[in-house]
Amino acid sequence: MSGAIKKTTGLTGLVVSKAPHHSLGILYDKIMRTLQKMPESAAYRKHTEQLICERAQVLSSTTDINQVEQTIGCGQVEELIVQAENELILARKMLNWKPWEPLCQAAPAGQWDWPPTVSEK
């Protein structure tokens, strides 16, 4: 991080990370390893992999945390860490849920219609 080390994030309950670059790198690696266990055709894998690859590339291109924050544009690095932790939790759940597998039974008529039709009576 260039300049002085920040003392606070200014966000209640979110403390300053002591090793943000390292923490994000590990989280992105864990997410990618989890995604690798999913079929390549899975929509969740494709979209999440693209996002994490882009963010990991930004992280590997600079050691300046301010630059990482600006380039990714999704908040402070501490917020990026929380986002990555949540994505890892979701990725592991998706691996368990297997949403790419076919439904056990056919979906009811109109299940995937949007906006839903409401019968008027």
**CA gyration radius for the chain?**
19
Domain spans of the chain? Answer: 20-97
pLDDT tens, position by position, 68-114: 999 999 999 999 999 999 999 999 999 999 999 998 999 898 888 88
pTM of the complete model: 0.85
CA 1 – CA 102 distance, rounded (Å): 47
- Give kind and range of the element (H or E) at residue 55: helix 43-61
